[in-house]
Amino acid sequence: MTEKKEQKESYPKYAPGTHVHDKDIYERKITYTWWEPEVQYSWSLGPAMSRFLQELKAGKIIGIKCNRCRRVIVPPRMFCEYCYGPTSDWVYLKDTGTVETFSLSYLDADARRIEEPILIGVISIDGASPKHGFMHYFGEMKPEELKIGMKVKAVWKPENEREGSITDIKYFKPFRGGEE
Amino acid sequence: MKDVAVIGAGMTLFRRRLKETGKELSFLAAKMALEEAGIQKSDLDMVVMGSAPDAFDGIHMKGENLIDGAAAAGKPYVRVFNGGGTGVFAPIAGWWHVASGVADIVMVVCEEKMGSCYPHPQTAFRHIWDPIIDRPLNPNLIWLFAMEMNRYMTVYNIKKEDIARVAVKNKRNAVGHPCAQLADPNITIDDVLNSEVMAWPVQRLDVSPPSDGASALIYCSKDKVHQFTDDPIWVDGVGWGIDSTMWTNRDLCFPRYVATAAKMAYKMAGITNPPKDIDFAEPYDPFDYKELHHMEGLLLCKKGEAPILTREGVTQRDGDLPICPSGGLLGVGNPIAATMGQKVCEVYWQLAGKAGKRQIPGDPRVGVGQAWGDIMQMATVIVLRR
Protein backbone atom coordinates (compact mmCIF):
# COMPACT_ATOMS: atom_id res chain seq x y z
CA MET A 1 0.00 0.00 0.00
CA THR A 2 2.77 2.38 0.98
CA GLU A 3 4.73 1.51 -2.16
CA LYS A 4 1.71 2.25 -4.30
CA LYS A 5 1.44 5.70 -2.75
CA GLU A 6 5.09 6.55 -3.36
CA GLN A 7 4.61 5.87 -7.04
CA LYS A 8 1.79 8.40 -7.21
CA GLU A 9 2.54 11.76 -8.72
CA SER A 10 2.02 15.02 -6.91
CA TYR A 11 -1.13 16.98 -7.78
CA PRO A 12 -1.72 19.48 -9.24
CA LYS A 13 0.95 18.13 -11.62
CA TYR A 14 1.57 21.52 -13.22
CA ALA A 15 0.34 25.11 -12.87
CA PRO A 16 -0.97 26.48 -16.18
CA GLY A 17 -1.37 30.23 -16.69
CA THR A 18 0.78 33.25 -17.52
CA HIS A 19 1.49 35.85 -14.85
CA VAL A 20 1.26 39.51 -15.96
CA HIS A 21 1.75 42.70 -13.96
CA ASP A 22 0.02 46.07 -13.72
CA LYS A 23 2.90 47.71 -15.54
CA ASP A 24 2.51 45.31 -18.48
CA ILE A 25 -0.85 46.97 -19.01
CA TYR A 26 0.19 50.56 -18.29
CA GLU A 27 3.26 50.18 -20.53
CA ARG A 28 1.16 48.45 -23.20
CA LYS A 29 3.37 45.36 -23.18
CA ILE A 30 0.35 43.08 -23.52
CA THR A 31 -2.73 43.30 -25.68
CA TYR A 32 -5.80 44.44 -23.75
CA THR A 33 -9.11 46.27 -24.04
CA TRP A 34 -10.57 48.85 -21.66
CA TRP A 35 -14.10 49.89 -20.72
CA GLU A 36 -15.49 52.37 -18.23
CA PRO A 37 -19.17 51.76 -17.48
CA GLU A 38 -21.41 54.75 -16.89
CA VAL A 39 -24.39 53.60 -14.85
CA GLN A 40 -26.50 55.46 -12.32
CA TYR A 41 -29.11 54.17 -9.90
CA SER A 42 -31.94 55.65 -7.89
CA TRP A 43 -33.53 53.47 -5.23
CA SER A 44 -37.00 54.15 -3.83
CA LEU A 45 -36.80 53.10 -0.25
CA GLY A 46 -40.11 51.50 0.73
CA PRO A 47 -42.19 52.30 3.81
CA ALA A 48 -39.86 51.14 6.60
CA MET A 49 -36.62 52.84 5.62
CA SER A 50 -38.45 55.94 4.29
CA ARG A 51 -39.90 56.49 7.76
CA PHE A 52 -36.53 55.78 9.41
CA LEU A 53 -34.74 58.35 7.25
CA GLN A 54 -37.51 60.95 7.64
CA GLU A 55 -37.20 60.56 11.43
CA LEU A 56 -33.42 61.02 11.18
CA LYS A 57 -34.14 64.28 9.35
CA ALA A 58 -36.22 65.26 12.39
CA GLY A 59 -33.34 64.33 14.70
CA LYS A 60 -34.82 61.07 15.98
CA ILE A 61 -33.93 57.39 15.72
CA ILE A 62 -36.95 55.11 15.28
CA GLY A 63 -37.27 51.33 15.46
CA ILE A 64 -40.12 48.90 15.02
CA LYS A 65 -41.45 46.04 17.14
CA CYS A 66 -42.18 42.47 16.16
CA ASN A 67 -45.10 41.44 18.32
CA ARG A 68 -44.29 37.76 17.95
CA CYS A 69 -40.63 37.62 19.04
CA ARG A 70 -40.88 40.93 20.91
CA ARG A 71 -37.76 42.28 19.23
CA VAL A 72 -37.42 46.04 18.92
CA ILE A 73 -35.63 46.22 15.59
CA VAL A 74 -33.39 48.91 14.16
CA PRO A 75 -32.91 49.56 11.28
CA PRO A 76 -36.68 48.99 10.95
CA ARG A 77 -38.32 46.71 8.38
CA MET A 78 -41.92 45.95 7.45
CA PHE A 79 -41.56 42.28 8.44
CA CYS A 80 -39.55 40.24 10.93
CA GLU A 81 -37.12 38.06 9.00
CA TYR A 82 -37.19 35.33 11.67
CA CYS A 83 -40.93 35.17 12.62
CA TYR A 84 -41.81 36.12 9.07
CA GLY A 85 -44.85 38.12 10.10
CA PRO A 86 -45.49 41.84 9.70
CA THR A 87 -43.97 44.22 12.25
CA SER A 88 -46.44 46.63 13.78
CA ASP A 89 -45.56 49.26 16.36
CA TRP A 90 -43.09 52.06 15.71
CA VAL A 91 -40.90 52.82 18.74
CA TYR A 92 -38.77 55.94 19.25
CA LEU A 93 -35.31 55.00 20.49
CA LYS A 94 -32.64 57.04 22.24
CA ASP A 95 -29.77 58.55 20.31
CA THR A 96 -27.29 56.86 22.61
CA GLY A 97 -25.87 53.37 22.46
CA THR A 98 -22.98 50.97 22.99
CA VAL A 99 -20.01 50.23 20.74
CA GLU A 100 -20.36 46.57 19.70
CA THR A 101 -17.25 46.58 17.55
CA PHE A 102 -15.08 49.03 15.63
CA SER A 103 -12.18 49.48 13.25
CA LEU A 104 -9.62 52.21 12.58
CA SER A 105 -9.45 52.35 8.80
CA TYR A 106 -6.39 53.56 6.92
CA LEU A 107 -8.12 52.73 3.62
CA ASP A 108 -10.69 54.77 1.75
CA ALA A 109 -13.56 53.22 -0.23
CA ASP A 110 -11.27 52.43 -3.19
CA ALA A 111 -8.58 50.88 -0.96
CA ARG A 112 -6.35 53.95 -1.31
CA ARG A 113 -4.17 54.73 1.72
CA ILE A 114 -5.10 57.64 4.00
CA GLU A 115 -3.05 59.23 6.80
CA GLU A 116 -5.66 59.86 9.49
CA PRO A 117 -7.75 56.78 10.30
CA ILE A 118 -11.52 56.74 9.81
CA LEU A 119 -13.13 55.58 13.07
CA ILE A 120 -16.06 53.31 12.26
CA GLY A 121 -18.02 50.59 14.01
CA VAL A 122 -21.36 49.15 14.99
CA ILE A 123 -23.45 50.88 17.65
CA SER A 124 -26.30 49.03 19.38
CA ILE A 125 -28.96 51.65 20.04
CA ASP A 126 -30.48 52.20 23.51
CA GLY A 127 -34.14 51.22 23.54
CA ALA A 128 -33.74 48.55 20.83
CA SER A 129 -33.20 44.86 21.55
CA PRO A 130 -29.65 43.82 22.47
CA LYS A 131 -27.20 43.77 19.52
CA HIS A 132 -29.59 45.82 17.37
CA GLY A 133 -28.04 48.83 15.75
CA PHE A 134 -26.18 50.07 12.71
CA MET A 135 -22.77 51.06 11.42
CA HIS A 136 -21.53 54.61 11.82
CA TYR A 137 -18.51 56.84 12.33
CA PHE A 138 -17.04 57.93 15.67
CA GLY A 139 -15.69 61.39 16.48
CA GLU A 140 -14.56 63.75 19.28
CA MET A 141 -12.19 61.06 20.53
CA LYS A 142 -8.68 59.82 19.91
CA PRO A 143 -8.38 56.46 18.13
CA GLU A 144 -6.92 54.87 21.26
CA GLU A 145 -9.95 55.94 23.32
CA LEU A 146 -12.35 53.89 21.22
CA LYS A 147 -13.29 50.66 23.02
CA ILE A 148 -15.87 47.90 22.63
CA GLY A 149 -18.55 48.34 25.30
CA MET A 150 -18.10 52.14 25.43
CA LYS A 151 -21.24 54.33 25.66
CA VAL A 152 -21.69 56.78 22.80
CA LYS A 153 -24.14 59.49 21.72
CA ALA A 154 -25.11 60.74 18.28
CA VAL A 155 -23.86 64.11 17.08
CA TRP A 156 -26.43 65.46 14.61
CA LYS A 157 -25.97 67.75 11.65
CA PRO A 158 -27.69 71.13 12.08
CA GLU A 159 -31.40 70.78 11.24
CA ASN A 160 -31.19 72.79 8.00
CA GLU A 161 -28.42 70.52 6.68
CA ARG A 162 -30.25 67.23 7.24
CA GLU A 163 -31.59 65.51 4.16
CA GLY A 164 -33.05 62.18 5.29
CA SER A 165 -29.88 60.11 5.22
CA ILE A 166 -27.87 58.01 7.65
CA THR A 167 -25.33 60.84 7.38
CA ASP A 168 -27.78 63.21 9.13
CA ILE A 169 -25.94 61.82 12.14
CA LYS A 170 -22.38 63.14 11.75
CA TYR A 171 -20.86 60.57 14.08
CA PHE A 172 -21.14 59.15 17.60
CA LYS A 173 -19.10 60.75 20.40
CA PRO A 174 -18.22 59.44 23.88
CA PHE A 175 -21.24 59.63 26.23
CA ARG A 176 -20.66 60.08 29.92
CA GLY A 177 -23.42 59.69 32.52
CA GLY A 178 -25.41 62.84 33.27
CA GLU A 179 -24.57 64.50 29.94
CA GLU A 180 -27.27 65.50 27.56
CA MET B 1 -29.77 9.36 -3.13
CA LYS B 2 -26.94 7.91 -5.19
CA ASP B 3 -23.37 7.78 -3.91
CA VAL B 4 -21.08 10.28 -5.64
CA ALA B 5 -17.32 9.92 -6.13
CA VAL B 6 -14.63 12.42 -7.13
CA ILE B 7 -12.48 11.13 -10.00
CA GLY B 8 -10.41 14.15 -11.05
CA ALA B 9 -9.46 17.72 -10.21
CA GLY B 10 -7.48 20.57 -11.68
CA MET B 11 -6.46 24.16 -11.13
CA THR B 12 -4.48 26.94 -12.77
CA LEU B 13 -1.74 29.15 -11.44
CA PHE B 14 -3.17 31.71 -8.99
CA ARG B 15 -1.80 35.23 -9.52
CA ARG B 16 -2.91 38.83 -9.02
CA ARG B 17 -3.27 39.03 -12.80
CA LEU B 18 -3.12 36.30 -15.45
CA LYS B 19 -2.83 36.90 -19.17
CA GLU B 20 -5.43 34.28 -20.11
CA THR B 21 -9.13 35.19 -20.37
CA GLY B 22 -11.70 33.71 -18.00
CA LYS B 23 -12.72 31.22 -20.67
CA GLU B 24 -9.12 30.18 -21.21
CA LEU B 25 -8.49 29.76 -17.50
CA SER B 26 -11.63 27.61 -17.24
CA PHE B 27 -10.34 25.52 -20.14
CA LEU B 28 -6.91 25.03 -18.52
CA ALA B 29 -8.34 23.91 -15.16
CA ALA B 30 -10.98 21.69 -16.80
CA LYS B 31 -8.40 20.08 -19.08
CA MET B 32 -6.26 19.12 -16.09
CA ALA B 33 -9.25 17.54 -14.32
CA LEU B 34 -10.29 15.66 -17.48
CA GLU B 35 -6.73 14.34 -17.82
CA GLU B 36 -6.67 13.08 -14.24
CA ALA B 37 -10.05 11.38 -14.64
CA GLY B 38 -8.98 9.97 -18.00
CA ILE B 39 -12.09 11.21 -19.81
CA GLN B 40 -13.04 13.73 -22.50
CA LYS B 41 -15.65 16.43 -22.92
CA SER B 42 -17.96 13.93 -24.66
CA ASP B 43 -18.06 11.80 -21.48
CA LEU B 44 -19.56 14.65 -19.42
CA ASP B 45 -23.33 14.57 -18.92
CA MET B 46 -23.60 18.03 -17.39
CA VAL B 47 -21.48 20.96 -16.20
CA VAL B 48 -21.82 23.29 -13.21
CA MET B 49 -20.02 26.65 -13.22
CA GLY B 50 -19.17 28.58 -10.06
CA SER B 51 -18.17 32.22 -10.34
CA ALA B 52 -18.82 34.98 -7.83
CA PRO B 53 -19.77 38.65 -8.34
CA ASP B 54 -20.01 39.71 -12.00
CA ALA B 55 -18.50 43.08 -11.14
CA PHE B 56 -14.94 41.69 -10.90
CA ASP B 57 -14.80 40.38 -14.45
CA GLY B 58 -16.95 43.27 -15.63
CA ILE B 59 -19.06 40.84 -17.65
CA HIS B 60 -22.65 40.79 -16.51
CA MET B 61 -24.07 37.25 -16.21
CA LYS B 62 -20.60 35.90 -16.90
CA GLY B 63 -21.77 32.29 -16.58
CA GLU B 64 -22.83 32.52 -20.21
CA ASN B 65 -19.50 34.03 -21.20
CA LEU B 66 -17.61 31.14 -19.58
CA ILE B 67 -19.62 28.23 -21.05
CA ASP B 68 -17.20 27.36 -23.85
CA GLY B 69 -14.19 27.24 -21.54
CA ALA B 70 -16.05 25.02 -19.09
CA ALA B 71 -16.68 22.25 -21.67
CA ALA B 72 -20.41 23.03 -21.48
CA ALA B 73 -21.28 24.09 -25.03
CA GLY B 74 -24.18 21.87 -26.11
CA LYS B 75 -24.73 20.41 -22.62
CA PRO B 76 -27.01 21.07 -19.65
CA TYR B 77 -25.24 23.82 -17.71
CA VAL B 78 -25.92 26.10 -14.80
CA ARG B 79 -23.91 28.76 -13.02
CA VAL B 80 -24.35 29.06 -9.26
CA PHE B 81 -22.94 31.68 -6.94
CA ASN B 82 -23.22 32.99 -3.42
CA GLY B 83 -20.22 35.26 -3.05
CA GLY B 84 -17.30 33.72 -1.22
CA GLY B 85 -19.41 30.64 -0.49
CA THR B 86 -19.31 29.68 -4.18
CA GLY B 87 -16.06 27.70 -4.04
CA VAL B 88 -17.80 25.00 -2.02
CA PHE B 89 -21.37 25.68 -3.17
CA ALA B 90 -20.58 24.94 -6.85
CA PRO B 91 -19.31 21.43 -5.93
CA ILE B 92 -22.41 20.98 -3.73
CA ALA B 93 -24.59 21.79 -6.77
CA GLY B 94 -22.51 19.40 -8.87
CA TRP B 95 -23.03 16.72 -6.23
CA TRP B 96 -26.83 16.99 -6.37
CA HIS B 97 -26.77 16.59 -10.15
CA VAL B 98 -25.29 13.10 -9.62
CA ALA B 99 -26.89 12.20 -6.26
CA SER B 100 -30.34 12.84 -7.73
CA GLY B 101 -29.69 10.34 -10.53
CA VAL B 102 -30.13 13.01 -13.21
CA ALA B 103 -26.51 12.63 -14.38
CA ASP B 104 -23.66 10.12 -14.03
CA ILE B 105 -20.61 12.24 -14.85
CA VAL B 106 -20.55 15.94 -14.00
CA MET B 107 -17.76 18.50 -14.07
CA VAL B 108 -17.69 21.54 -11.79
CA VAL B 109 -15.60 24.47 -13.01
CA CYS B 110 -14.93 27.58 -10.92
CA GLU B 111 -13.44 30.76 -12.32
CA GLU B 112 -12.60 34.23 -11.04
CA LYS B 113 -10.71 37.07 -12.64
CA MET B 114 -10.33 39.89 -10.13
CA GLY B 115 -7.38 41.52 -11.89
CA SER B 116 -9.62 43.00 -14.59
CA CYS B 117 -11.18 45.49 -12.17
CA TYR B 118 -9.40 48.85 -11.85
CA PRO B 119 -8.01 50.49 -9.85
CA HIS B 120 -8.62 47.63 -7.42
CA PRO B 121 -11.30 44.92 -7.01
CA GLN B 122 -12.20 46.71 -3.75
CA THR B 123 -13.96 49.27 -5.96
CA ALA B 124 -16.36 46.54 -7.17
CA PHE B 125 -16.85 45.34 -3.61
CA ARG B 126 -18.44 48.72 -2.80
CA HIS B 127 -21.51 47.57 -4.67
CA ILE B 128 -22.31 44.75 -2.26
CA TRP B 129 -23.14 47.14 0.62
CA ASP B 130 -26.73 48.04 1.42
CA PRO B 131 -27.45 51.16 -0.62
CA ILE B 132 -29.70 52.77 1.99
CA ILE B 133 -27.96 52.57 5.31
CA ASP B 134 -24.35 51.51 4.63
CA ARG B 135 -23.25 52.97 1.31
CA PRO B 136 -23.67 56.68 2.22
CA LEU B 137 -20.88 56.09 4.78
CA ASN B 138 -18.46 55.26 1.94
CA PRO B 139 -17.41 51.90 3.37
CA ASN B 140 -14.52 49.70 2.35
CA LEU B 141 -15.15 45.95 2.46
CA ILE B 142 -12.13 45.42 4.74
CA TRP B 143 -14.14 47.30 7.41
CA LEU B 144 -16.52 44.35 7.72
CA PHE B 145 -13.75 41.92 8.49
CA ALA B 146 -11.92 44.35 10.75
CA MET B 147 -15.10 44.79 12.79
CA GLU B 148 -15.78 41.04 12.93
CA MET B 149 -12.15 40.31 13.86
CA ASN B 150 -12.20 42.93 16.61
CA ARG B 151 -15.44 41.54 18.05
CA TYR B 152 -14.05 37.97 17.96
CA MET B 153 -10.75 39.01 19.57
CA THR B 154 -12.43 41.05 22.29
CA VAL B 155 -15.17 38.57 23.27
CA TYR B 156 -12.75 35.64 23.57
CA ASN B 157 -9.71 37.64 24.71
CA ILE B 158 -7.54 36.54 21.78
CA LYS B 159 -4.09 38.02 21.14
CA LYS B 160 -3.17 39.27 17.68
CA GLU B 161 -0.03 37.15 17.71
CA ASP B 162 -2.11 33.99 18.04
CA ILE B 163 -4.11 35.05 14.99
CA ALA B 164 -0.90 35.87 13.09
CA ARG B 165 0.22 32.25 13.60
CA VAL B 166 -2.47 31.22 11.08
CA ALA B 167 -1.00 33.45 8.35
CA VAL B 168 2.47 32.09 9.09
CA LYS B 169 1.31 28.46 8.99
CA ASN B 170 -0.67 28.81 5.77
CA LYS B 171 1.93 30.81 3.84
CA ARG B 172 4.50 28.18 4.86
CA ASN B 173 2.15 25.30 3.95
CA ALA B 174 1.73 26.83 0.48
CA VAL B 175 5.43 26.31 -0.27
CA GLY B 176 4.63 22.83 -1.62
CA HIS B 177 1.87 24.11 -3.90
CA PRO B 178 2.81 24.74 -7.56
CA CYS B 179 -0.04 27.25 -8.06
CA ALA B 180 0.65 29.35 -4.95
CA GLN B 181 0.74 33.13 -5.11
CA LEU B 182 2.05 34.01 -1.64
CA ALA B 183 4.04 31.03 -0.39
CA ASP B 184 6.78 32.11 2.00
CA PRO B 185 9.01 29.58 3.78
CA ASN B 186 10.62 32.22 6.01
CA ILE B 187 7.66 34.33 7.18
CA THR B 188 7.48 34.99 10.93
CA ILE B 189 4.83 36.16 13.39
CA ASP B 190 6.69 39.49 13.64
CA ASP B 191 6.43 39.97 9.87
CA VAL B 192 2.64 39.76 10.19
CA LEU B 193 2.46 41.95 13.30
CA ASN B 194 4.73 44.58 11.70
CA SER B 195 2.97 44.67 8.34
CA GLU B 196 1.01 47.73 7.22
CA VAL B 197 -2.20 48.44 9.15
CA MET B 198 -5.08 48.51 6.66
CA ALA B 199 -8.09 48.75 8.96
CA TRP B 200 -7.10 47.90 12.51
CA PRO B 201 -6.98 45.10 13.62
CA VAL B 202 -6.51 43.91 10.02
CA GLN B 203 -2.94 44.24 8.74
CA ARG B 204 -1.55 43.55 5.28
CA LEU B 205 -0.35 40.01 6.05
CA ASP B 206 -3.60 39.07 7.80
CA VAL B 207 -5.28 39.20 4.39
CA SER B 208 -5.31 36.89 1.36
CA PRO B 209 -4.59 38.54 -1.99
CA PRO B 210 -7.03 39.20 -4.84
CA SER B 211 -6.27 36.69 -7.60
CA ASP B 212 -7.07 35.40 -11.06
CA GLY B 213 -7.52 31.64 -11.38
CA ALA B 214 -9.73 28.65 -12.11
CA SER B 215 -10.27 25.17 -10.72
CA ALA B 216 -12.23 22.07 -11.74
CA LEU B 217 -13.60 18.88 -10.20
CA ILE B 218 -15.17 15.81 -11.79
CA TYR B 219 -17.81 13.60 -10.17
CA CYS B 220 -18.97 10.13 -11.12
CA SER B 221 -21.91 8.09 -9.87
CA LYS B 222 -21.30 4.86 -7.96
CA ASP B 223 -22.81 2.97 -10.92
CA LYS B 224 -19.96 3.98 -13.22
CA VAL B 225 -17.04 4.75 -10.92
CA HIS B 226 -15.48 1.27 -11.32
CA GLN B 227 -14.60 2.28 -14.90
CA PHE B 228 -12.24 4.96 -13.60
CA THR B 229 -10.76 3.96 -10.23
CA ASP B 230 -10.53 1.12 -7.70
CA ASP B 231 -10.01 3.57 -4.87
CA PRO B 232 -12.76 6.22 -5.08
CA ILE B 233 -13.03 9.27 -2.85
CA TRP B 234 -16.68 9.77 -1.85
CA VAL B 235 -18.74 12.85 -1.12
CA ASP B 236 -20.11 11.89 2.28
CA GLY B 237 -22.03 14.99 3.28
CA VAL B 238 -22.94 18.48 2.11
CA GLY B 239 -24.45 21.40 3.99
CA TRP B 240 -25.17 25.05 3.49
CA GLY B 241 -26.81 27.80 5.50
CA ILE B 242 -27.32 31.51 5.51
CA ASP B 243 -28.28 34.08 8.12
CA SER B 244 -29.96 37.48 7.83
CA THR B 245 -28.30 40.20 5.77
CA MET B 246 -28.86 42.57 8.70
CA TRP B 247 -25.37 41.99 10.04
CA THR B 248 -25.60 44.84 12.56
CA ASN B 249 -28.38 42.91 14.30
CA ARG B 250 -26.26 39.84 15.14
CA ASP B 251 -23.29 39.18 17.40
CA LEU B 252 -20.33 38.71 15.08
CA CYS B 253 -18.25 36.76 17.60
CA PHE B 254 -19.54 33.36 16.42
CA PRO B 255 -20.62 32.36 12.87
CA ARG B 256 -23.76 30.40 13.75
CA TYR B 257 -24.63 29.93 10.05
CA VAL B 258 -21.39 27.91 9.67
CA ALA B 259 -22.58 25.63 12.48
CA THR B 260 -25.95 25.26 10.69
CA ALA B 261 -24.21 24.19 7.48
CA ALA B 262 -21.75 21.92 9.32
CA LYS B 263 -24.50 20.13 11.26
CA MET B 264 -26.36 19.43 8.02
CA ALA B 265 -23.23 17.98 6.39
CA TYR B 266 -22.17 16.01 9.47
CA LYS B 267 -25.62 14.46 9.87
CA MET B 268 -25.48 13.24 6.27
CA ALA B 269 -21.95 11.92 6.80
CA GLY B 270 -22.72 10.23 10.14
CA ILE B 271 -20.23 12.44 11.97
CA THR B 272 -21.19 12.70 15.64
CA ASN B 273 -17.94 13.90 17.19
CA PRO B 274 -16.37 16.32 14.68
CA PRO B 275 -12.89 16.79 16.30
CA LYS B 276 -12.48 13.01 16.52
CA ASP B 277 -14.25 11.87 13.36
CA ILE B 278 -12.61 14.44 11.06
CA ASP B 279 -8.93 13.95 10.17
CA PHE B 280 -8.25 17.37 8.61
CA ALA B 281 -10.07 20.43 7.31
CA GLU B 282 -9.81 23.24 4.81
CA PRO B 283 -11.89 26.03 6.41
CA TYR B 284 -12.18 29.26 4.43
CA ASP B 285 -9.27 31.55 5.32
CA PRO B 286 -9.49 34.84 3.37
CA PHE B 287 -8.23 36.41 6.62
CA ASP B 288 -6.17 34.63 9.26
CA TYR B 289 -8.80 35.12 11.99
CA LYS B 290 -11.40 33.54 9.68
CA GLU B 291 -9.66 30.15 9.83
CA LEU B 292 -10.07 30.24 13.63
CA HIS B 293 -13.62 31.57 13.46
CA HIS B 294 -14.54 28.83 11.00
CA MET B 295 -12.87 26.03 12.99
CA GLU B 296 -15.21 27.04 15.80
CA GLY B 297 -18.20 27.30 13.46
CA LEU B 298 -17.35 23.86 12.05
CA LEU B 299 -17.50 22.56 15.65
CA LEU B 300 -13.89 21.32 15.44
CA CYS B 301 -13.28 22.93 18.84
CA LYS B 302 -15.02 25.08 21.45
CA LYS B 303 -15.68 28.80 21.02
CA GLY B 304 -12.47 30.76 21.52
CA GLU B 305 -10.36 27.59 21.53
CA ALA B 306 -9.07 27.62 17.94
CA PRO B 307 -6.22 30.09 18.68
CA ILE B 308 -5.02 27.84 21.51
CA LEU B 309 -4.97 24.76 19.25
CA THR B 310 -3.05 26.80 16.68
CA ARG B 311 -0.50 27.98 19.26
CA GLU B 312 -0.02 24.38 20.42
CA GLY B 313 0.71 23.18 16.87
CA VAL B 314 -2.38 20.96 16.63
CA THR B 315 -3.34 22.53 13.28
CA GLN B 316 0.08 22.11 11.61
CA ARG B 317 0.29 19.65 8.73
CA ASP B 318 1.84 17.05 11.06
CA GLY B 319 -0.42 17.95 14.01
CA ASP B 320 -3.43 16.04 15.32
CA LEU B 321 -5.90 18.14 13.31
CA PRO B 322 -4.19 19.64 10.24
CA ILE B 323 -5.95 22.80 9.04
CA CYS B 324 -5.43 24.25 5.54
CA PRO B 325 -2.66 21.85 4.47
CA SER B 326 -2.95 23.33 0.95
CA GLY B 327 -1.71 26.69 2.16
CA GLY B 328 -5.26 28.03 2.03
CA LEU B 329 -6.30 31.36 0.59
CA LEU B 330 -3.62 33.14 2.60
CA GLY B 331 -0.85 31.17 0.91
CA VAL B 332 -2.19 29.92 -2.42
CA GLY B 333 -4.39 32.92 -3.28
CA ASN B 334 -8.01 34.04 -3.31
CA PRO B 335 -9.72 33.97 -6.72
CA ILE B 336 -13.07 33.81 -4.88
CA ALA B 337 -14.97 30.90 -6.49
CA ALA B 338 -11.81 29.22 -7.80
CA THR B 339 -10.71 28.59 -4.21
CA MET B 340 -12.54 25.32 -4.76
CA GLY B 341 -8.93 24.37 -5.65
CA GLN B 342 -7.89 24.57 -1.97
CA LYS B 343 -11.21 23.84 -0.28
CA VAL B 344 -12.36 20.79 -2.26
CA CYS B 345 -9.73 19.70 -4.84
CA GLU B 346 -7.07 19.70 -2.10
CA VAL B 347 -9.28 17.60 0.22
CA TYR B 348 -9.67 15.12 -2.64
CA TRP B 349 -5.93 15.05 -3.44
CA GLN B 350 -5.06 14.61 0.25
CA LEU B 351 -7.49 11.70 0.68
CA ALA B 352 -6.21 10.11 -2.54
CA GLY B 353 -2.63 10.39 -1.24
CA LYS B 354 -1.73 12.55 -4.21
CA ALA B 355 -0.76 15.80 -2.46
CA GLY B 356 3.01 15.26 -2.80
CA LYS B 357 5.00 17.67 -0.62
CA ARG B 358 1.77 18.84 1.00
CA GLN B 359 0.64 15.32 1.92
CA ILE B 360 -0.67 14.96 5.48
CA PRO B 361 1.05 12.02 7.19
CA GLY B 362 -0.98 9.24 8.78
CA ASP B 363 -3.37 8.10 6.08
CA PRO B 364 -6.24 10.61 6.46
CA ARG B 365 -9.71 9.22 5.69
CA VAL B 366 -12.16 12.06 6.36
CA GLY B 367 -11.63 15.66 5.24
CA VAL B 368 -13.87 18.74 5.38
CA GLY B 369 -13.89 21.75 3.07
CA GLN B 370 -15.76 24.97 3.81
CA ALA B 371 -16.35 28.35 2.23
CA TRP B 372 -17.97 31.55 3.46
CA GLY B 373 -19.44 34.58 1.84
CA ASP B 374 -21.99 37.30 1.22
CA ILE B 375 -22.25 39.86 4.06
CA MET B 376 -20.74 37.58 6.74
CA GLN B 377 -23.76 35.30 6.52
CA MET B 378 -23.28 32.34 4.12
CA ALA B 379 -21.53 29.02 4.75
CA THR B 380 -21.03 25.98 2.55
CA VAL B 381 -19.56 22.69 3.81
CA ILE B 382 -18.53 19.43 2.12
CA VAL B 383 -17.27 16.19 3.69
CA LEU B 384 -15.15 13.81 1.60
CA ARG B 385 -14.17 10.29 2.68
CA ARG B 386 -11.88 7.59 1.38
Task: Render pLDDT for A99-144 as a digit per residue (tens, 0 to 9).
Answer: 999 999 999 877 789 999 999 999 999 999 999 999 999 999 999 9
Q: What is the mean pLDDT of residues A64-73?
A: 96
Amino acid, res. B62: K
Is there a domain that residue A78 lies in?
yes
Q: Which of A17, A41, A121 sits opposite B18 (nearest CB)?
A: A17
Per the structure, the complete domain to which residue A130 belongs is given by 46-174
Residues B166, B180, B374, B218, CA torsion sign? negative
DSSP for residue A94: -
With respect to residue A101, please indicate whether it lies within any of the assigned structural domains.
Answer: yes
Task: Give, for all 386 residues of chain B, the pLDDT tens digit.
Answer: 999 999 999 999 999 999 999 999 999 999 999 999 999 999 999 999 999 989 888 899 999 999 999 999 999 999 999 999 999 999 999 999 999 999 999 999 999 999 999 888 888 888 889 999 999 999 988 999 999 999 999 999 999 999 999 999 999 999 999 999 999 999 999 999 999 999 999 999 999 999 999 999 999 999 999 999 999 999 999 999 999 999 999 999 999 999 999 999 999 999 999 999 999 999 999 999 999 999 999 999 999 999 999 999 999 999 999 999 999 999 999 999 999 999 999 999 999 999 999 999 999 999 999 999 988 999 999 999 99
Is a pLDDT exceeding 80 seen at residue A61?
yes
The CA-atom distances, in angstroms, between B153 and each of B156, B252, B330, B371, B378 are 6, 11, 19, 21, 21
Task: Give ipTM to 2 decimals.
Answer: 0.93
* Domains of chain B and CATH, by start: 4-118+209-385 (3.40.47.10)
Residues of B in contact with A93 (CB under 8 A): none
Neighbours of A30 (CB within 10 A): 12
Domain membership of residue A86 (yes or no) is: yes
A25 neighbourhood in chain B, CB within 8 Å: 17
In a domain, A179, yes or no: no
Taking contacts as CB-CB distances below 8 angstroms, the residues of chain A near B154 are 101, 148
Q: How many CB pairs under 8 A join A and B?
A: 185
Per-residue confidence (pLDDT) for residue A112, from 0 to 100: 85
Query: In this structure, is residue A24 part of a structural domain?
Result: no
Is residue A177 predicted with pLDDT exceeding 80?
no
Separation in Å, CA B152 to CA A95, A148, B207: 26, 11, 16
Of B71 and A1, more confident: B71
Answer whether B252 touches A (CB < 8 Å).
Answer: yes
CB contact under 8 A, A101 and B357: no
Please check whether residue A35 lies inside any domain of the structure. no
- Which one of B21, B248, B287, B376 would you mutate to disrupt binding with A, by most A Cβ within 10 Å of its Cβ? B248
3-class secondary structure per residue, B282-301: ECCCCEHHHHHHHHHHCCCC
Residue B358 is predicted with a pLDDT of 97
Using the predicted structure, report yes or no on whether residue A4 has a pLDDT greater than 80.
no
Query: A2 pLDDT band (50/70/90 cuts)?
Result: very low
Of A15, A18, A120, the CB nearest to B19: A18
Residue B34 and residue B40 in contact, taking contact as beta carbons nearer than 8 Å: yes
Q: Which of A4, A13, A10 is nearest to B350 (CA)?
A: A10
pLDDT at residue A79, rounded to an integer: 97
Give how far B152 is from chain A: nearest CA, Å.
Answer: 9
Average pLDDT, chain A: 92
In a 10 Å sphere around its CB, with 0-12 CB exposed, 13-18 middle and 19+ buried, how is residue B365 labelled? middle
Any domain includes A19: no
Distance from CA of B312 to the nearest CA of A (A): 28
Question: A111, B140: Cβ pair inside 8 Å?
Answer: yes
A159 confidence band (pLDDT: 50, 70, 90): very high
- A9 with B9: Cβ contact below 8 A: no
Q: So what's the pLDDT on residue A108? A: 84
In a domain, A30, yes or no: no
Q: What is the structure's pLDDT at A3? A: 47
Query: What is the average per-residue pLDDT within A61-67?
Result: 97
Domain count, chain A: 1
Q: What percent of chain A has pLDDT over 70?
A: 94
- Per-residue pLDDT, A127: 98
